[in-house]
Amino acid sequence: MNILVLNGSPAGQNSITLQTVIYIQQFYDQYHFDVLDVGQRIKQYEKDFSECKEKIKAADLILFTYPVYTFLIPAQLHRFIELMKEADIDYSKKYASQITTSKHFYDVTAHRYIQDNCDDMGLMYIKGLSADMEDLLSKKGQHEALAFFRYVQWSYQRGYHEPVLYAEKKEFNGIEPAIPEREVLPKRGKIAIVTDTTEDSPLYRMIQRFQYKTSFETVVVNLKEFPFSGGCLGCFHCASTGKCIYKDGFDAYLRNNIQTTDATVYAFSIKDHGMGYRFKLYDDRQFCNGHRTVTMGKPVGYLIDGNLDEEPNLRMVIEARADTGGNYLAGIAQTKVIRIRKLTGWQIRYSMR
Ligand SMILES: Cc1cc2nc3c(=O)[nH]c(=O)nc-3n(C[C@H](O)[C@H](O)[C@H](O)COP(=O)(O)O)c2cc1C
């Protein structure tokens, strides 16, 4: 069996997660393991995917190996999956599984995110291993790592894999409710609409409609316009200094444009079962706050182009974002199920008091 390890950790060969693969590898010298340092080389692979394409084509099993970052996978691996989907590759005869390390804080949503994306690509998904950061230091952790790989081997040899969960997407019936009357509310408060929209898209029109309907002042912060140097490197420099090691000015951008407002509305189109690469960069880079919540009590809302009802894992991530930040989740409006009036009206006003 040819095993291609997609190492999504920005720590590269020093990744804690990768050590689990190295540990397993010692017991399986009949298999060929190849590692792509996706977390460190994403910029290079964005320019030229050919090496990755050849390695993916040669693989029987693709092993996604990464640290859990803000409920999901690191932004760099997120981008790599986009590139995998764009490449002309037949995944249908390949297996996939995953290994993570984390503090078990929403590792379940990260695992589910990989599973959903494997289903999209037609990869045959085998249940993964979610280890704690220190697991490999104990006999129990070592035992669990080997038991996981025995299961992968067993599944591969028998052609066993998890059933596809959301293969057939239901079409929306197209009935949208009429635009309701404008509510008159006192202007007190400013809402940051954080988005990655392009003009003249359903999402853009949704934002315009929201701006029209709300009686609060709004400012649109488009993440597409921010020159991110890259995804969080997990170096923990910020934990002691409160400053990110990148010099692209994201800390100030976040603090001046978003954290100063009274409420935040995130506007995005569902992509690959998530909020898209730009939002993942944004989420991971918020680690620059030194892993502290800084918007506690502030209401958040969502404008979503897509049908969240078909994405239970993404809904859980959205709820987790509000929950862990101590934010009040004021409402979620979707293109397919319009609830803008509710979001613009009393829910945000009430929670701003
Ligand atoms: C930006 C960032 C976000 C993180 N988010 C989570 C998280 O949501 N849940 C969790 O359990 N651990 C989280 N962690 C901890 C990492 O998953 C953990 O340190 C991991 O074992 C690092 O593995 P690596 O050395 O392979 O990169 C986060 C770490 C960083 C730097």
Asked if 277 and 209 count as a contact pair (C-beta separation under 8 A), the reply is no
From the candidate CATH numbers 1.10.357.10, 2.60.40.10, 3.40.50.360, 1.10.10.10, the one assigned to the domain spanning 190-352: 3.40.50.360
Strand bridging mode 95-102 / 190-195: unpaired
How distant, in Å, are the alpha carbons of 232, 271, 326, 333 from that of 72? 13, 14, 19, 22
User: How big is the chain by its Cα radius of gyration, in Å?
Assistant: 21
Using CA atoms, how far apart are residues 73 and 68, in angstroms rounded to an integer?
5
Q: Domain-by-domain residue ranges, the chain?
A: 2-158, 190-352
Atom number in ligand 1 closest to CA 18: 26
Task: Report the separation in Å between the CA atom of 69 and the middle of ligand 1, taken as the mean of its atom positions.
Answer: 5
Give one DSSP letter per residue of 130-193, joined into a string. Answer: EEETTGGGSHHHHHHHHHHHHHHHHHHHHT--PPPSS-SPPPP----PPPPPPP------EEEE
How many other β-carbons are positioned within 10 Å of the β-carbon of residue 53? 16
Mutate to test the pocket of ligand 1, among 40, 69, 283 (most ligand atoms within 8 A of CB): 69
Question: Taking a C-beta distance cutoff of 8 angstroms, is the pair 288, 240 a contact?
Answer: no
Please give the structure tokens belonging to residue 11.
């720590």
Atom of ligand 1 nearest to the CA of 70: 8
pTM higher than the cut 0.75: yes
Half-sphere exposure of 331 (CA within 13 A, CB side): 18
The set of protein residues with a Cβ atom below 6 angstroms from ligand 1 is 9, 11, 15-17, 67-71, 101-107, 133, 232, 234, 284, 287
Which residue's CA is the nearest one to ligand 1's atom 9?
Answer: 105
Same fold flag, 2-158 and 190-352: yes
Exposure string over 129-159, b if 16+ CB within 10 A, otherwise e = bbbbeebbeeeebeebbeebbebbbebbeee
Among 102, 235, 251, 323, which residue has the most ligand 1 atoms within 8 Å of its CB, making it the best to mutate?
102
Place of tokens 């991971």: 284
Task: Look at residues 243, 271, 241 and name the one whose alpha carbon lies nearest to residue 255.
Answer: 243
Backbone angles phi, psi at 317, to 5 degrees: -65, -40
Q: What is the pLDDT along the chain (353 residues), one digit of tens a residue?
A: 999 999 999 999 999 999 999 999 999 999 999 999 999 999 999 999 999 999 999 999 999 999 999 999 999 999 999 999 999 999 999 999 999 999 999 999 999 999 999 999 999 999 999 999 999 999 999 999 999 999 999 889 888 888 777 654 444 455 544 444 444 445 568 999 999 999 989 999 999 988 887 878 899 999 999 999 999 999 988 888 878 899 999 989 988 988 889 999 999 999 999 999 999 999 999 887 766 677 777 899 999 999 888 899 999 999 998 888 888 888 888 876 555 656 665 556 555 54
Residue 132 CA: nearest ligand 1 atom is 21
How many angstroms separate the alpha carbon of residue 176 from the centre of ligand 1? 41
Region class of 62: left (phi > 0), else alpha (psi between -120 and 50), else beta: beta
Place of tokens 């649109």: 220
Cβ–Cβ < 8 Å for 276, 196:
yes
Atom of ligand 1 nearest to the CA of 236: 31
CATH number of 2-158: 3.40.50.360
Q: Whose CA is nearest to atom 12 of ligand 1?
A: 102
Per-residue model confidence as pLDDT tens digits over 161-216: 887 776 544 444 555 444 444 444 455 689 999 999 999 899 999 999 888 878 78
Contact 298, 327 (CB under 8 A): yes
Q: Which atom of ligand 1 is nearest to the CA of 14?
A: 25
